[in-house]
Amino acid sequence: MNTHRTSLSTRLLAVVAMAFMLFPLLTVIPVSFTSKRYLSMPEGNWSLRHYEALLSNPDWFASISQSLTIALATSVIATLLAASFSLGIWYLRSRLATALIGLVLLPMAIPPVISALVLYFMETNLGKHAPGIGYDTLTGVVIAHVVMVVPYGVVTMLVALSQIDRRIELASRNLGASLMQTTFLVILPNLKLGIASTALLSFALSWEEVAVTLFITSVNVDTLPKRIWSGLRDNVDPSVAAISVLLISITLAVLIGRLVLQYLADKRAHKRLHS
Amino acid sequence: MTLTATLTKPQPRTAKGSPRLERGLLLFPLPVLLLVFYVLPFLGVVGWSFSLPEPGIEQYQRIASDPAIHEMLWRTMRLCLTVSGLALLIGYLLAYCWVFSPPFWQRVVEICIFIPFWISVLVRAFGWLIALRSNGVLNEGLLGLGLIDHPLQLSRNEIGVVIGMLHVMIPYAVFPLLSSMRQLDQRVLMASRGLGAGALRTFWQVLLPQTLPGLLGAFIMVFVFCLGFFITPVLLGGGQTVMIAEYVFLQMFQTSNWGLGAALSVVLLALVSALIWVLMRITRVNRLVG
Amino acid sequence: MSLDHNRDCIEVLIEKARGGQINRRTFLQAMGLMAAVPLAMRSGISWSADKPLVVVNWGGDALNAFRSAWTDNFSKATGIPVRIDGAGPTEGAVRSQLASGKPSWDVVDVESYSALVLGREKILQPLDYNVIKRDQVAPALASDHGIASYQFSYVMAWDSEKFGDNGPKTWADFWNVEKFPGKRTMYKWMNGMLEAALLADGVPADQLYPLDVPRALKKIDEIKPHVLSFWSSGAESQQLMIEGEVAVGAIWHTRAKLLAEDSDNRVRWSYDNGFINSSSWAVLQGNPGGSAPAMQFIQQALQPEGQLKLFELLGNGPSNSATEKLMNAEQLAANCASPENLKKQIALNAQWYADNYAGALEQYLTRLSK
């Protein structure tokens, strides 16, 4: 239950910010219905041709499912690694911690173009020893994505941990709980939101990643961003806008469903309060 | 004892009979993995900066003395700081509403944060080009309302770059802020208001200090993300706002000057590290490190 | 066993062998049983190539176009599967393939000057001119390490809504913002732009090379305030021209052609004073698919039928002029490499670019990002 409330002026400002966030829909939705073969406003000539093209081309869906697989795997692995590392740091509290954090954040501070080369060399080497997990494989892409997104996960986890009251750890340990018991029974339940944020963030970063992916894949892996960016050479296909609209519709359906349920629940609670 | 004091106060060692192994198992998988998969191969890149095209420090000397590179670095810092600052401001507002509004509002904010993720960054950039051009939705709207009398040049310049990058960065700023605000003890805010502090004072003296780790985390993430960002600035900047990510791309792939590209990334790494270090000093949030 | 049935079996066997479903020994044994060994020899199935050939181009529309113009036929004729990777063989990317110690690319479609630079550094292997017939292309289009795959041109396109039928024709017109007011767009990676500036500044076309870079940059400073955007991809140049954001643009002729179609001829263009140049086939040193199949592929890709197909799909000019014999009048007029159109254009000098591109590009970009 929220006890602190936002003021009207805050909410008005937030509405402006939210309008900004949704502003691109004003172009992306109409563009997906253009009758032209390039990104443009339909200007009266609305057409479903790009949705038809999308549905009749299995390649788009192959790419979507590849990207989903990669993003899910990346998200799970990166979240596990980031959570475990951050907890380790939290328990450790020593000079070593700063050095280790520096090392772990390194991939974030290097321009992705350079990371792309670094990971490309790493993966071709990996492929020499273990074909099937290096260059141009799904596993290879997941490894590279984990490396690229895990620093962001670590920052998010460290932020979440910084606000955990250390006294709960002390209390738990003084009551004789082991480190693992303390972690799983006391600390992690307090970190749910941090873990969820890390997972979402990792998913989103992997889903959009293209700079490194372009470099460590060739003909076997064709992620959605890779397919989309290929259009930049000549002409970005409005089907790409249609994909966005489809994905947004699915998300909206889920979120609005929750919203309606929430609204109804609120009303009921409200009634009960006043009856 | 306040929460902050507890956090900053040196802690007594709790590890009675120190379960070193368990702690090590938590701590080391990630650094080891990154060491093998990234850091060691990256040392090769550091090597190039001292060896290509000839052994020596000539690439660093060039970075130190070339005004064109200085200008590019300055443009990068200026734009990335602007975008990060704005993203933090707006992200803070949205995270605040997400946490402290009634549930219905929370869901609305949620939708606004999640929707943009499904629109490819490339499509968003073209979407902005279409919306921001002189006969685009925004200019037509403003003209129609009589707010302006001739179309504004909103894209293919630095304004366009800021708008486009900001839109990508805001959701990333919201995440760490969100977890930071969720976890703070709301009774403290209530108490502050209850003791007669105004909204602004509560914000400055209670909310802001308590969410400082979240702000710092969000800043670090958004700022370094901006530094590596590439296509949105290229498309919305009219090709004339070359920043470090594109400049390094140019050196690596167009002109094959790997030594300079490598040296620049080493310099960038140093700059970013220094910036984070300074920030942690002035905000005294070594709490991030535990 | 009827003769028809026999032939049918042989065809099935050949199909299976091409598809990799049976191995060489089984195939030859089976063919031997049917007394069809000579036929087996002529089927053109190449057993050395268990590995597919990876051909790398710049992606986009070229992915499908390369497939239907070249690689499908090659696979059918030789049994060697070909995969197309649209990663974009920039000089740096090709270099990193070699630097990794384990290149995964075979044949690349690189800028003609990149073939010279990378060849000089032994990153590319010398082409086998016993397999590839060098005289299929004009002498200027072939070097030790690269042979032209197709040709394209940087041309001037303009918006007829702004200038009617009398659009800008020369590069001096491009620079003349009084007579032809409106925003401009130019190529960010510089090809042809220094030449345009020098022509606008009065340098005769036959005295362009070696380019006077400082003079060209000075001229570019003049037009820069009027350049709305420096494009670096086809999609950008299209977006700039299609809704009239810019009045005049220096863009790829392939894009210009599509823009004219998409805008119902509102956007117009011509080959006058365009800069023609070629893209080159090249083979990486130590390529995984083997030298011989790569050379074989290049020779096949130079054949007129495939070149015509690519022209029809993308508008790229054939490098093998024999292709012109297969063209109708309309196609000849649209072909950037036909003799009529060659006369209107200026050829970019690949050797100058090989020697000077990196340094000049850096200066150019520094100037335009001010």
Per residue in C206-243, pLDDT tens? 999 999 999 999 999 999 999 999 999 999 999 999 98
C48 part of a folded domain: no
Residue C7: pLDDT band with limits 50, 70, 90: low
Residue in chain B lying closest to A204 (CA)? B117
How many structural domains does chain C have?
3
- In this predicted structure, what is the pLDDT of residue C121? 94
Same domain (yes/no): C270, C357: yes
**What is the domain extent for residue A191?**
60-237
My answer on whether C112 and C237 are in the same domain is no
Interacting residues of C78 by C-beta distance below 8 A, sequence separation 6+: C44, C45, C46, C49, C293, C296
Is position A28 within any domain?
Answer: no
As for the ipTM of the complex, it is 0.90
Per the structure, how many domains does chain A have?
Answer: 1
- C261 at the A interface (CB within 8 A)? no
C216 and C363 together in one domain = yes
Q: What is the pLDDT of residue B123?
A: 92
pTM for this entry:
0.89
Whether residues C233 and C249 share a domain: the answer is yes
CATH number at residue C99: 3.40.190.10
Residue C370 forms contact with B (CB below 8 Å) = yes
Residues C161 and C260 in one domain: yes
Residue A127's CATH number:
1.10.3720.10
Q: Are residues C186 and C71 in the same domain?
A: no
For C98, the domain range is 53-151+279-330
B221 shares contact with chain A (CB less than 8 Å) = yes
Nearest-Cα distance to chain B for A113, in Å, is 6
**Cβ contact, residue pair A234, C61, below 8 Å:** yes
CB atoms within 10 A of CB C249: 30
Confidence of residue C10 (pLDDT cuts 50, 70, 90): low
Residue closest to A24 by CA, chosen among C102, B90, B283, B127: B127
Q: What would the pLDDT profile of C292-311 be if each residue is shown by its tens digit?
A: 999 999 999 999 999 999 99
For residue B241, the chain C residue with the least C-alpha distance is C369
Domain-located, residue A265: no
Per residue in A107-166, pLDDT (tens digit) is 999 999 999 999 999 999 998 888 888 899 999 999 999 999 999 999 999 988 887 878
Q: How many CB atoms lie within 10 A of CB C162?
A: 15
Distances in Å between the alpha carbon of C307 and those of C137, C138, C144, C152, C301? 12, 15, 22, 13, 7
Instruction: Say whether residue A8 is in contact with chain C using an 8 A CB cutoff.
Output: no
Is pLDDT above 90 for A256? Answer: no
- Check whether residue C269 and residue C219 sit in a common domain: yes
Q: What are phi and psi of A17, to 5 degrees?
A: -60, -40
Report the DSSP pairing between strands C107-111 and C53-56: parallel
Residue B3 is predicted with a pLDDT of 38
Same domain for C157 and C112: no
Per-domain boundaries in chain B: 69-289
CA distance, residue C61 to nearest chain A CA (Å)? 7
C107 & C140 share domain: yes
Which of A128, A219, A232 is the closest to C54 by Cβ?
A219
Nearest in space to A235 (alpha carbons), one of C204, C153, B168, C65:
C65
CATH architecture entry for B69-289: Orthogonal Bundle (1.10)
Distance CA B138, CA A96 (A): 52
Is C165 in the same domain as C306?
no
Confidence of residue C48 (pLDDT cuts 50, 70, 90): very low
C335 within a domain of the structure (yes/no): no
Q: How confident is the model over B71-120, as pLDDT tens digits?
A: 999 999 999 999 999 999 999 999 999 888 888 888 889 889 989 988 99
Same domain as C256, residue C242: yes
Q: With an 8 Å Cβ cutoff, is C356 touching chain B?
A: no
Q: What is the pLDDT of residues B170-212, one digit of tens each?
A: 999 998 898 888 877 777 777 777 777 777 788 888 888 888 8
Domain contains C47: no
CA distances from B32 to A132, B26, C43 (A): 22, 12, 54
How does residue C270 score in pLDDT terms, banded at 50, 70 and 90? very high
Nearest CB among A92, A165, A204 relative to B27 is that of A92
Chain A residue at shortest CA distance from C63: A230
* Residue range A220-246, pLDDT digits in tens: 999 999 999 998 988 888 999 999 999
Give me the pLDDT at residue C37, please: 46
User: With an 8 Å Cβ cutoff, are C233 and A232 in contact?
Assistant: yes
Cβ count near B17 (within 10 Å): 6
Q: With CB atoms and an 8 Å threshold, state whether B27 touches A84.
A: yes
Q: Which of A136, A215, A234 sits opposite C234 (nearest CB)?
A: A234
Distance from CA of A181 to the nearest CA of C (A): 46
Residue A267 lies in a domain: no
* Residue of chain B minimizing CA distance to A169: B14
Which chain B residue is nearest to residue C356, measuring alpha carbons? B255
Q: Which of A14, A112, A150 shows the shortest C-beta gap to B97?
A: A14
**Contacts made by residues A93-102, CB under 8 angstroms, sequence distance 24+:** A93/B11, A93/B290, A97/B289, A97/B290, A98/B289, A100/B27, A100/B31, A101/A154, A101/A158, A101/B289, A102/B273
pLDDT band at residue B5 under the 50/70/90 scheme: very low
* Nearest chain B Cα distance for residue C239, angstroms: 8
Structure tokens at A150: 């895990």
CA C47 to chain centre: 30
Q: Is residue C336 part of a domain?
A: no
**C269 and C317: one domain?**
no
